[in-house]
Amino acid sequence: MALILGLESSCDDSAAALVTSDRRILAQAVVGQDAAHRPYGGVVPEIAARAHVERLPGLIRQVMAEAGVVPSDLDAIGATAGPGLIGGVMVALLAGKGLALAAGKPLITVNHLEGHALSPRLADTGLGFPYLLLLVSGGHCQLLLVGGVGQYRRLATTIDDAAGEAFDKAAKMLGLTYPGGPAIEALAASGDPRAVPLPRPLLGSDEPHFSFAGLKSAVQRAVATGAHRPEDIAASFQQAVVDCLVDRTARALASSDAPTLVVAGGVAANGAVRTALAELAQRSSRRYSVPPGWLCTDNAAMIGWAGAERFALGLVDRLDAPARARWPLDERAEPVRGAGVKA
């Protein structure tokens, strides 16, 4: 049984967790920065990085004390090394390097996206490889075939905005608070998803990718007319996103023999998204796996678990491993038109 300390600071959540290779979370702590960024309607990189510097050391001490663990008890330290806001990424990575050097323990640099991609295996003991993964978050919207740890083949990505980014921007247009995803979901609960005619970009297209920029623009126009209730716009927007995710995922399932559909990333915490994809999996006769909501959003337990999976395969890193603002899971994937290079 290996004990891994996971550290995460790639965006605006500072997090530390102690995770074992037999899927136990001994302690974890996450501190967000919503209040600090709310006046700006989104994450300000400099504010986020400063907050990580101030908070992460205390979170590390907190989880170690809660679990009754000292550095010499660890088998390795797993730290997010990208992708993300580079100033933030450097905080967890440098903290991990310092601990690894001081304690004489291996360092494991974890791709934040791999943390999301493997997180369902932390909660779902029966989930084996391969599986089809819909990775849907604030910065990414991808379909990947996961063949094993470090084995990712990208089937589709966004050509412009990610779904979570579209949620945040639509919420800002509606005057809702940051973060936008939960705010849209709460407002949509009292709206009519058929009230506002909104586009479904690439719906039914032979092109495998996602697109949300046109939908975002349509929301902006709907808000500007003043002809619709905000709750109806929110509900119609959410339904449009769900329809796009289901359509693109169904296309990928039709060309894949992966036995399980897995959904991960922050947008996977959305109830409408979870339900619609569960229904798709049932129609497609596939097993369905999605982590609990708290494991979908940014956290260090998924980083610790990804570290444990990599440690079991002997995948450790040098102390001069770099922080990376961009780090695709499938580095061999062809670039796509538009802004898909972000993926």
Residue-level pLDDT at 315? 98
Architecture of domain 3-117+295-327: 2-Layer Sandwich (3.30)
Burial 89-106 (b: 16+ CB within 10 A, else e): bbbbbbbbbebbeebebb
What residues of the chain score a pLDDT lower than 50? Answer: 340-343
> What is the model's pTM?
0.94
| CA distances to 26, 246, 264, 284 from 274, in Å | 27, 10, 10, 15
Amino acid at 105: K
Domain 3-117+295-327 and domain 129-290 have a common topology: yes
Q: Taking the domains of the chain in order of start, what are their residue ranges?
A: 3-117+295-327, 129-290
Residue-level pLDDT at 339? 52
Give the distance from CA 65 to its chain's centroid.
28
Domain 129-290 has CATH 3.30.420.40: yes
Beta-carbon contacts of 14 under 8 Å, excluding residues fewer than 6 positions away, are 8, 30, 31, 33, 51, 52, 55, 56, 59, 91
Residue-level pLDDT at 340? 47
Residue 97 φ/ψ, nearest 5 degrees? -65, -40
Residue-level pLDDT at 318? 98
